[in-house]
């Protein structure tokens, strides 16, 4: 503990900060040498530690200084371990640990801070065996009960994915403090045991803003964004001060759920309470507005930011592309290059999406080639998948297949799914069968592959093949993802799943659905039953269509939202043609503006017209979810 007691810095050393240039640092160094201040081992250690910790790019300089000291203090060596644990070469931390162990100074031995920084190094290195060795050294030197070290070990094992080891360390804590409890909560959330994390959270006698943020982040990371917002609301009710981290986490949840009103509230809070608009927070706002379909507001935030990094530019470029503004996204990419911002792999994902929107296949190929040839960025699987998608959507299916076969690595599910989706679009049964077989070879329970191929067979009225695919799915235990739609009403998120009648106002919703059906029939509506692919009676098909989750959500919006408020529905699947047409007619019959975002695009309906269909090339994380309707 003695090694980390704060020693008063010399006024000259205090001049150093993260903005100090190398030239200025050398000038400060010269003054310290001339005045003989560095002859004092404490000030020498402070100077080395300050250089190392304020800017990792100066680690080499700090090393050279350290080499001129035959007996560095434990504080100095611990500071070097800490600095390297955060650097791009964390393994060098162990060099200074070895210096402690083999020091000529018999009084020098590792302390709790030494091991706290070393376990962080192991976490960054993802070094499981080394982590176990460090844990053994912790026990050998008697620091296994130190709360700082315990917290570090919990963090390390969480990063290594060893939740059972996290529990073992935590259970060994006699009286774990708030920091250790928060680390354990975060570990459970990170490793997928979010329910245990919530149990811990509810039982904690004391919670600070870090604990609250860890719980929100845990829900957001495992895709339970609705519960993340619930925790956020509880945080507000308990009067916990919201900071930038809280705002970014909540915006992430808002983006995932597409709840624009929540996102607007967060933005208003940031402006009202003057929360510092960091690059991270600004980028999160740009991303939220873009993915909720408000691209104008997204670009207002973007241009209003004083500082923008590559992720901010990439989010704005991708936001324009996903909202149908392909040419504008490519113009913004050119602006980015003129600003001297170096693009990265994420940037090129956004650029390729922009090329897809406007069908610029050749330009897309040029940008794809420039990744490696100009910027030295090796294309990843998602870039290859987007290129296949680009060829496929342009109807160049054979070129898409040739591109897949020329990939330098084994083609992944995303590439084959893009081809299969294009085969569905252009009714190419032969290539569709090839793509489906390849997908099933890679993921034998990929429901989307079966569904898309069954759609192709249904287009040919080949019910025997459709039925055969269905039997194969049953035999393999493949279950189709159920349709789910989300709508936000008065700040509350409502979720509707096909077949689920648990909503407290479901009786009213059913009455509204019946009213909608009558109005549609009077307007001459005839159900488009193509999405219901089995050879069953038309009346049964119409009944199946009427229960689609987006129709239920729209009905709920009609009974819950005032006429001037647009009805915004977010789906987890692609909207079928019948629901598309029904939403368009509802907008005219009930004089309502309806915006439906499915996994592929925005559908904007007003006065019985499609006001704007904004093509939305989402991340290949989702691999083209199926068109619904079969089962």
pLDDT tens-digit readout, 157-176: 999 999 999 999 999 988 89
Q: CATH 1.25.40 occupies which residues in the chain?
A: 413-476
- What pLDDT score was predicted for residue 466? 81
First to last CA, the chain: 66
- What pLDDT score was predicted for residue 17? 62
Residues near 167 by Cβ (< 8 Å), separated by ≥ 6? Answer: none
Are 594 and 567 in contact, with CB atoms under 8 Å apart?
A: yes
Q: What percent of the chain stands above pLDDT 70?
A: 89
pLDDT tens-digit readout, 374-385: 999 999 999 999
Between 108 and 311, whose confidence is greater?
A: 311
Retrieve residue 317's tokens. 């470029």
The yes-or-no verdict on residue 622 having pLDDT over 60 is no
Give the model's confidence band at 65: pLDDT under 50 very low, under 70 low, under 90 confident, else very high.
confident
Cα of 173 vs its chain's centroid, Å: 33
For residue 13, the 8-state DSSP code is: G
The yes-or-no verdict on residue 623 having pLDDT over 70 is no
| Separation of alpha carbons 360 and 618, rounded Å | 17
- The whole-model pTM stands at 0.75
Strand segments, DSSP code E, in 201-346 are: none
pLDDT tens-digit readout, 211-238: 999 999 999 888 888 899 899 989 988 8
Give the model's confidence band at 545: pLDDT under 50 very low, under 70 low, under 90 confident, else very high.
low
- What pLDDT score was predicted for residue 160? 92
The yes-or-no verdict on residue 432 having pLDDT over 80 is yes
- Name the nearest CA neighbour of 619 among 250, 353, 377: 353
Are 303 and 338 in contact, with CB atoms under 8 Å apart?
A: no
Q: What average pLDDT score do residues 95-111 get?
A: 86
The yes-or-no verdict on residue 624 having pLDDT over 70 is no
Q: Parallel, antiparallel, or unpaired: how do β-strands 484-489 and 594-597 relate?
A: unpaired
- What pLDDT score was predicted for residue 18? 58
Cα of 394 vs its chain's centroid, Å: 29
Give the model's confidence band at 527: pLDDT under 50 very low, under 70 low, under 90 confident, else very high.
low
| Separation of alpha carbons 580 and 488, rounded Å | 20
| Separation of alpha carbons 592 and 567, rounded Å | 8
Please name the fold of domain 413-476: 1.25.40
Buried b (16+ CB within 10 A) or exposed e, 464-490: ebbeebbeebeeeebebeebbbbbbbe
| Separation of alpha carbons 261 and 551, rounded Å | 21
pLDDT tens-digit readout, 471-512: 888 888 877 778 888 888 887 888 898 778 889 999 999 999
- What pLDDT score was predicted for residue 16? 61
Q: What average pLDDT score do residues 78-101 get?
A: 90
The yes-or-no verdict on residue 24 having pLDDT over 80 is no
**Range with the largest mean pLDDT of 233-242, 252-261, 294-303:** 294-303
The CA distances from residue 548 to 10, 477, 482, 541, 542, in Å, are 71, 23, 10, 11, 10
For the chain, what percentages of helix, strand and coil (3-state, to nearest 5) are there?
65, 5, 30
3-class DSSP state of 622: coil
- What pLDDT score was predicted for residue 505? 93
Give the model's confidence band at 538: pLDDT under 50 very low, under 70 low, under 90 confident, else very high.
very low
Are 257 and 570 in contact, with CB atoms under 8 Å apart?
A: yes
- What pLDDT score was predicted for residue 301? 96
């Amino acid at each position: 503990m003695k090694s980390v007691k704060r020693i008063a810095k010399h006024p000259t050393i205090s001049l150093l900060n993260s903005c100090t240039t190398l030239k200025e640092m050398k000038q400060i160094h010269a003054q310290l040498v001339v005045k003989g201040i560095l002859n004092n081992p404490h000030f020498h250690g402070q100077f080395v530690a300050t250089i190392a910790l304020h800017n990792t790019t100066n680690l080499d300089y700090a090393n050279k200084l350290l080499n001129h000291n035959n007996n560095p203090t434990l504080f100095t060596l611990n500071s070097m371990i800490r600095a390297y644990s955060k650097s791009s070469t964390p393994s060098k931390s162990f060099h200074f640990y070895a210096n402690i162990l083999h020091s000529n100074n018999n009084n020098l031995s590792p302390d709790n801070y030494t091991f706290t920084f070393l376990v962080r190094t192991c976490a960054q290195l993802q070094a499981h065996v080394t982590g176990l060795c460090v844990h053994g050294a912790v026990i050998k030197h008697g620091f296994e009960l130190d709360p700082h070290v315990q917290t570090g070990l919990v963090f390390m094992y969480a990063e290594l994915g060893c939740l059972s080891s996290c529990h073992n360390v935590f259970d060994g804590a006699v009286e774990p403090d708030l920091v250790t409890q928060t680390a354990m909560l975060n570990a459970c959330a990170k490793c997928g045991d979010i329910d245990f994390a919530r149990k811990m959270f509810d039982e904690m006698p004391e919670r600070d803003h870090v604990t609250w943020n860890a719980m929100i982040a845990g829900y957001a990371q495992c895709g339970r964004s609705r519960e993340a917002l619930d925790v956020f609301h509880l945080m507000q009710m308990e009067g916990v001060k919201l900071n930038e981290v809280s705002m970014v986490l909540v915006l992430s949840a808002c983006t995932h759920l597409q709840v624009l009103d929540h996102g607007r509230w967060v933005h208003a809070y940031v402006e009202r309470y003057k929360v510092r608009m960091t690059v991270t927070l600004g980028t999160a706002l740009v991303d939220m507005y873009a993915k909720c379909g408000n691209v104008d507001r997204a670009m207002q935030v973007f241009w209003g930011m004083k500082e923008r990094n590559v992720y901010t530019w990439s989010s704005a470029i991708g936001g324009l592309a996903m909202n149908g503004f392909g040419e504008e996204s490519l113009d913004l990419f050119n602006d980015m290059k003129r600003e001297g911002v170096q693009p990265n792999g994420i940037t090129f994902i956004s650029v390729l999406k922009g090329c897809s929107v406007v069908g610029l296949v050749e330009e897309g190929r040029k940008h794809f080639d420039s990744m490696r040839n100009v910027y030295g960025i090796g294309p990843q699987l998602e870039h290859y998948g987007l290129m296949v998608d680009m060829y496929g959507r342009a109807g160049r299916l054979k070129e898409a297949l040739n591109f897949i076969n020329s990939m330098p690595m084994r083609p992944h599910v995303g590439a084959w799914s893009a081809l299969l989706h294009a085969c569905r679009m252009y009714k190419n049964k032969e290539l569709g069968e090839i793509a489906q077989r390849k997908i099933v070879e890679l993921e034998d329970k990929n429901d989307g592959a079966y569904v898309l191929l069954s759609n192709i067979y249904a287009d040919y009225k080949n019910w025997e093949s459709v039925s055969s695919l269905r039997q194969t799915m049953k035999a393999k235990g493949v279950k189709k993802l159920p349709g789910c739609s989300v709508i936000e009403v008065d700040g509350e998120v409502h979720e509707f799943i096909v077949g689920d009648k648990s909503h407290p106002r479901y009786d009213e919703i059913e009455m509204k659905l019946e009213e909608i059906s009558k109005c549609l029939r009077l307007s001459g509506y005839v159900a488009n039953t193509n999405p219901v692919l089995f050879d069953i009676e038309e009346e049964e098909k119409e009944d199946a269509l009427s229960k689609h989750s987006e129709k239920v959500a729209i009905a709920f919006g009609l009974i819950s939202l005032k006429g001037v408020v647009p009805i915004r529905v977010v789906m987890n699947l692609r909207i079928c043609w019948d629901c598309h047409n029904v939403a368009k007619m509802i907008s005219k019959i009930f004089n309502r503006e309806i915006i439906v975002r499915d996994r592929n695009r925005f559908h904007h309906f007003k006065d019985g017209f499609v006001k704007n269909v904004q093509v939305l090339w989402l991340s290949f994380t989702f691999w083209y979810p199926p068109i619904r309707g079969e089962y």
